[in-house]
Structure 1
Amino acid sequence: SGAKVIVPPRYLDEYKNLPALDFSAFIVKDFYATYPGFEGFSPASNGEILQNALKKQLPGVLGKASSPFPPTHQLTKVTCDLYIGRPKEWTKINLKTAVQHCVARQTSRIFLGPKLADDPEWQAISTSYATDVFRAVQRLNALPALLRPLLHWVLPECRRIRDEVRQARALINPEVERRLDEIRRFGAPRRKVLDSVDWLVAAASAKRQPLPDVGVMEIALAMASMNSTSRAVGYLLLDAACYPEYVQELRDEVVAVLAETGQIDKNMLFKLKKMDSFIRESLRIHPGLNANMPRVAQQDITFSDGTQIPKGAYLMMSPPPMLNPAVHADPDKFDGLRFFRLRASSPSNENKYQTVTTSPEMTMFGHGLHACPGRFFASNSMKLMFAYMLLNYDFALPEEAKGEPLPELYMNFQMMPDSRQMLLCRARTPEVDFLEYCEG
């Protein structure tokens, strides 16, 4: 899309809710959503069905506040055992590979149920597409704009993602037809536990809209959840390895809260306030984006101080002052309990400094009209996975990485752990069998 206008944080309160600023138009242009193979970005251009489905259904995915989590969450153990193992001695693992597969398997089980999530073909497609589509974007970005509409047909990176989209549709669409037939015959789904295929079908019916391309929406959902969550969990494990002084305190909190609640539910995860602080601090130091909240101006805009933005401008909000000493004391220092202390300092701070709370100072999940509807689900999923990993494993940096800045990859405005980053891992005997507290 060419040059971007980077908007200073002082305009955030006006910027966040301006109806003339369009999020979808930015995604369509910047990520080639009209090109075959890039359909994973296309739901953003017609995202009402997806947004409505997520806003309505995601809060119930983890059960009611005081209900134990369903057996799907026991998949945390299965995925960790499969992709990390139970090494008795310090063993090197590739951080990206281990975390990405753990996150992909777990989110697929939650969103699609066991039949599709356990299908090796879907596992391969959903995991590879999340990486391959960004490689294709990068490849096109390196070409002259005039040639992109032609060359995308022959570039191997683009051919690969076209094949992956075709495979996704071939897997998902028959299941959609089966669900529709079930509704036609019985008037409603016959299964007790509904998944995201049901959500999308129901959301389209409620709005009396044509059935969306569910196969594409599922691969988009997998891509979004996997990229953001795996990046965040990867940084959490790196921070646990870099700052081991916090690890036992976090473990002790998990054990104490489990003893108090007797089960893993939303209330239990809410009580993990030290862990919530550690996660928020990790996101503060590693926000994942150097600029976010992308928009396209659909008309000329004038901010309250007279600053003018022309129609058609591509905009992004510059990073919030997360490293500003006027906002956070010792901003360059990782302080895992920073937000735990702030929450405890005043009743008015209890909600303000939670991981899921967006503000002008913390915009990792966006802010305003387009704040991420999945942030509560993502936060609870991260806590569940991080708690299990801390109780069952020790993590450390390899000797050659100690004392060195952690290598990071930058792609456009994204930042992520280096895909070559190795981590030392060793199984340990947990203080409690964490997942025995799940339902099932």
Structure 2
Amino acid sequence: MDVYNVMNDSKAYFRVFHPFVAPFLTSVRQIRARFTVARRLLLPRFENRYPDDGKGHNDMLQWLVDTARGRDEETDQVVKRMLFLNMAAIHTSAEAATSTILDLCARPDYINMLRDEMLESIKTHGGLKLATISSLKKTDSFIKESNRLNTSGLMTFHRRLAVPLTLSNGVTLPASTYLSMSHYPMIHDAEIFPEPEAFDGLRF
């Protein structure tokens, strides 16, 4: 939300003036304050997070540290990259979870079946582990069906080409071409998904 507020506030001024007006914008001061908080929270996590520490940290923060090169190795840059990933991931995950819960509330006949699968998986694998999650086939199917029918918009995969791209049919798209995919017709296509408007929690 802070990023979009900065974008909207900046639009009131010509781009050439942005560096001069930015320090005076409330939205810019807000995002800098949040960055300071994020930096304070993440700094303790950076301890012993270098590639040769031998600790075996298997998380996003370690992956960012391991892949950083040059200026990206600076603490502030890693914090910025972490915040960018959060911005890209959190709202989509929250939206998917919300849709799934609402679909489950609307279809209570699935509750016992999914609960039984979860309890059995926890018993089989001795607790909540990666193997436990991976074995939840019915739950995974229910979530996928919820995601299929609860799409955000008609288009997805919005990208801008940094370099020219030649497709398999020989067509070359120049750099700066904007791409998008019309996924809505696909998920409502009866040839791909029989009875596409019907919710089938075991479809997948």
Range of TM-score over shorter length: 0.7 to 0.9
Using the TM superposition, give the Cα deviation of residue 192 of structure 1 relative to its aligned residue in structure 2, in angstroms.
Answer: 7.3
Counterpart for residue 188 of structure 1: 53
Asked if 2 retains the 8 angstrom alpha-carbon contact of 1:231 and 1:288, the reply is: no
What's the TM-score, normalizing by structure 2?
Answer: 0.75
1:296 CA drift (Å): 2.1
8 Å Cα contact 1:257-1:271 kept in structure 2 = yes
TM-score of the pair, normalised by structure 1: 0.39
Q: Is the 8 A contact 2:161 2:174 kept in 1?
A: yes
Coordinate RMSD, CA, aligned: 3.3
Deviation of 1:248 (Å): 1.6
**Contact preservation (8 Å) 1:300, 1:310:** yes
Contact 1:236/1:282, CA 8 A, preserved across alignment = yes
Secondary structure, aligned partner of 2:48 = helix
CA shift for structure 1 position 274: 0.9
Name the CA shift for 1:199/1:163 in 2 (closer, same or farther; >3 Å).
same
**Aligned with 1:179 (options 32, 42, 48):** 48
Q: 1:166 to 1:278 in 2, by over 3 A?
A: same
Q: Partner of 1:312: helix, strand, or coil?
A: coil
In the TM superposition, residue 275 of structure 1 has moved relative to its aligned partner by 0.5
2: distance between equivalents of 1:298 and 1:333?
40
- The residue type paired with residue 148 of structure 2 is R
Higher helix share: 2
CA shift, 1:335, in A, is 1.4
Structure 1 outlier segments of 4+, above 6 Å: none
Other structure's SS at 1:293 match: strand
- Is residue 36 of structure 2 the alignment partner of residue 166 of structure 1? yes
* CA shift digits 1:163-203 (9 cap, x unpaired): 21233234434653x437xx7xxx726x6766544443333
Counterpart residue number, 1:243: 107
Q: Output the CA distance in 1 between the equivalents of 2:154 and 2:162.
A: 24
Give the aligned partner of residue 202 of structure 2: 337
Question: Partner amino acid for 2:139?
Answer: M
Cα pair 2:96 2:147 within 8 Å, conserved? yes
Partners of 2:45 and 2:85 in 1: CA distance: 17
Q: Is the 8 A contact 2:9 2:27 kept in 1?
A: no
Query: Which among 254, 273, 282 is matched to residue 137 of structure 2?
Result: 273
> Aligned to 2:183, what secondary structure does the other structure show?
coil
Asked if 1:156 is matched to 2:26, the reply is yes
Deviations 1:105-154 (A, max 9, x none): xxxxxxxxxxxxxxxxxxxxxxxxxx3324444x258x368458525554
Matches within 5 A, 1:84-99: none
Q: 1:322 aligns with which of 170, 187, 198?
A: 187
| Fraction of identical pairs, as percent | 28
The match for 1:311 among 172, 175, 181 is 175
Distance 1:140 1:306 in 2: 43
Compared with structure 1, are the counterparts of its residues 245 and 136 closer, same or farther at alpha carbon in structure 2 (3 Å cutoff)?
farther
Extract unaligned runs of 5+ from structure 2: none
Cα contact 1:136–1:157 (8 A) shared by 2? yes
1:379-426 deviation line (CA, Å, top 9, x unaligned) = xxxxxxxxxxxxxxxxxxxxxxxxxxxxxxxxxxxxxxxxxxxxxxxx
Unaligned 5+ runs, structure 1:
1-130, 340-440
Shift of 1:216: 1.3
Letter paired with 2:87: M
In structure 1, what residue type is equivalent to 2:42?
I
1:179 is paired with a residue whose SS is coil
